[in-house]
Amino acid sequence: MSKIVATGKTIEDAVAQGLAKWGVSRDRVSVQVLSQPSRGFLGLFGVKEAKVELELLPERAGGELQSETPLAKQEVSIKANQTETAATVSMPAEEAVESTPADVNSTGHEGKDPYHEAISFLQETGRAMGIEVTIEMEKGKDYTTLHISGSGLGLMIGRRGQTLDALQYLANIVANRYSDSYLRIVLDAENFRERRKKTLEDLADRLAARVLKTRKEIVLEPMSAPERKVIHARLQAKGGVKTYSKGDEPNRRVVITPKM
C-alpha cells in the first residue's frame, strides 16, 4: 500500500497519525491535505478534523529517495476545498427543539439546575462576543422564556433573529443535559419575538391586499417554520386569499394566492 488517509485535530496531528501507521519518518512521504480542520459554531458543533493523504516515496539504490522534484517542493499541497473550513448552526426556533437528539435527557447530572446551566452558557457566550448580558427567567405552562437584556444585543439577535434561534437551539441542548424530563426554552432579546411577529403580520396584510387587487399569487422569501406559521395564521381567516408552503428547508417559502 503506497497511500494512506489519516485524520487529526490539526494537519500536523493527521500527518503524525499516518507516519505512525507506517513507522516511517517525515522525509519518506509526500503529503496532500484533503480537508482543513474546523472548530464549528462556538467551537461546539460542526467540528471537523483535518484529513490528509500520505504517499510513500520509493527509494533508489543507496537509500536515496526517488522523486522527480526536490523534497523542498514536496510540501503539503492544499486542495481547493478549503472553503469548507467554516461551519455554522442556524436552526429555526420550533424545528430546532424538535431536532434535539433523543439521548440528551439521559445525561442527568444530580445537583445542577438545568436553567441555571443554560443561563450560564448564554452569559459566557455573550462575554465571548464582547457583550455583558442579564437574563431573566419566565416560566410558562409549555415552555420557559429567557429574556436577555444588555447593550449591543443586535449581535446576539442577528439578521432576522437567526443568531438568536441558533443560541436558543444550543441553550435547549445544554439545559436538557441536566434534566431527566424534556425542557423547552425560548430565547427573547429586547422583545424581538413580539416585534418580529408584528412585522410579519403587517407584511402578510399588505401582500394579501396586493393579491386581492392583482389576482396574482405572491411567493415570499424563505422563512423559518415559526415565521411561516405567523403568516399562515394571520391570513387563515382572510377572505379571498389562501396560503401554502413550498420548497425544501432552508429555502421553504410561503405562497399567498387568490381563492378561485
pLDDT in tens, the chain (260 residues): 588 888 887 788 788 887 777 777 778 888 888 888 765 555 544 457 788 888 888 765 444 444 433 333 333 333 333 333 333 333 344 433 333 333 333 344 557 899 999 999 999 999 988 889 999 999 988 899 999 998 888 889 988 888 898 999 999 999 999 998 999 999 999 899 999 999 999 999 999 999 999 999 999 999 888 899 999 999 998 889 999 999 998 889 999 999 98
Is-contact 170 44, C-beta < 8 A? Answer: yes
What does the pLDDT read at residue 11? Answer: 81
CATH number at 93-190: 3.30.300.20
What does the pLDDT read at residue 149? Answer: 92
What does the pLDDT read at residue 1? Answer: 58
DSSP 41: B
Strand partners, 256: 218, 243
DSSP 77: E
What does the pLDDT read at residue 39? Answer: 58
Domain segments of the chain: what residues?
A: 3-85, 93-190, 194-258
Q: What is the strand order of the sheet 144-150 is part of?
A: 133-139, 144-150, 185-189
Q: Which amino acid is at 30?
A: S
Give the CATH number of domain 194-258; options: 1.20.1250.20, 3.30.1370.50, 3.30.70.1530, 3.40.190.10.
3.30.1370.50
What does the pLDDT read at residue 41? Answer: 53
Q: Which amino acid is at 125?
A: T
What does the pLDDT read at residue 92? Answer: 40
Query: Quick check: helix, strand or coil at residue 256?
Result: strand
Matching residue, cell 429555502: 251
Is-contact 87 42, C-beta < 8 A? Answer: no
What does the pLDDT read at residue 95? Answer: 38
Return d(Cα 85, Cα 99) in angstroms, integer.
Answer: 24
Rounded (10°) angle between helices 162-177 and 114-128: 140
Return d(Cα 30, Cα 74) in angstroms, integer.
Answer: 6
Is-contact 98 168, C-beta < 8 A? Answer: no
